[in-house]
Amino acid sequence: MNNNNSEFEPKIVAFVCNWCTYAGADLTGTSRLKYATNVKIVRFPCTGRIDFMLLLKAFAQGADGVIVSGCHPNDCHYTSGNFHARRRWITFRGLLDFMGIDVSRIQYSWVSAAEGAKWADIVNTTVANIRELGPYTEYQKVADYLDKEDYNG
């Protein structure tokens, strides 16, 4: 799968919380730090809100990679949402593995409202990693499964 294709522009969806990472990404902009255009941000109130079925849906719809990012542990605007998200991610990782989804296509991180530079760095690193991994074609299997189960959220 390691076809190092420099022409390939990966599609990456970022699921971020409103208070830390969304604000951190705003700071990246205010600081005029540059990053790749491949990542598109979907704003959630909290990482605790992120139903991981959305990640599956993203892959099923043709995403090559996913970023999930929120407040650092103990910094959650809602006290504990990020802890729930972290625990969910740990459980979900096993499930992904079982389904045959490459876990390295998901970048899970903490970016605070003050870490504009870190956000740019995470985006660029993730884009480079996914580019290295190549397009994600196995998603169709997941899509078929989801269609069969008629899962629509």
Partner 1 sequence: MSKIGVFICHCGENISATVDCEKVAQDIRKVEGVEYAIDYKYMCSDPGQTLIKDAIKEHHLDGVVVGSCSPRMHEPTFRKACAEAGLNPFLCEMANLREHCSWVHEKGEATTEKAFDLVKMLVEKVKRNKPLDSIKVPITKKALVIGGGIAGIQASLDIANTGHQVILIEKDPSIGGHMSQLSETFPTLDCSQCILTPRMVEVAQHPNITLYTYAELESLEGFIGNFTAKIRLKAKSVDHKKCTGCGACFQKCPQKRIPSEFNAGLGNRTAIYVPFPQAVPNKPVIDREHCNYYKRGKCKICEATCPTGAIEWDKEDEILTEQVGAIVVTTGFNVKGADFFPEYGYGQYKDVITGLQFERLASASGPTLGEIRRPSDGTIPKKIVFIACAGSRDEAKGIPYCSKICCMYTAKHAMLYQHKVHDGESTVFYMDIRAGGKNYEEFVRRAIEEDHVNYVRGRVARVYEKNGKLIVKGVDTLLSGEQVEIEADMVVLATAGVSNCGAEQLAQKMHISYDPYHFFAEAHPKLKPVETNTAGIFLAGACQAPKDIPETVGMASGAAVKVAGLFSNNELVREPLIAVVNRSAPPVFSTCVGCFMCQTACPYNAIEREEIKGRDGKVIKTVAKVNPGLCQGCGTCVAFCRSKSIDIQGYSNEQMFAEVMSLLNH
Minimal distance, residue 113 CB to partner 1, in Å: 5
Measured in degrees and rounded to the nearest 5, phi and psi for residue 78 equal: -110, 30
Considering only 10, 20, 68, 110, the residue that binds partner 1 (CB under 8 A) is: 20
Minimal distance, residue 98 CB to partner 1, in Å: 19
Angle 25-27-33 (CA atoms, 0-180°, nearest 5)? 85
152 touches partner 1 by CB under 8 A: yes
33 touches partner 1 by CB under 8 A: yes
Residues 48-77 within binding reach of partner 1 (CB under 8 A): 48-52, 54, 57-58, 61-63, 74-77
Q: Distance of CA 16 to CAs 23, 31, 38, 88, Å?
A: 10, 19, 15, 15
| Closer CB to partner 1, 61 or 140, in the complex | 61
Read off the tokens for 130: 């996914």
86 touches partner 1 by CB under 8 A: no
> Residue type at 105?
R
Q: Is 69 helix (H, G, I), strand (E, B) or coil?
A: strand
45 touches partner 1 by CB under 8 A: yes
Angle 32-38-44 (CA atoms, 0-180°, nearest 5)? 80
Query: Residue 65's CB: how many other CB atoms inside 10 A?
Result: 25
Applying CB under 8 A, the residues found at the interface with partner 1 are 9, 11, 13, 18-20, 22-23, 25-30, 32-35, 37, 40-46, 48-52, 54, 57-58, 61-63, 74-81, 84-85, 88, 112-114, 120, 152-153
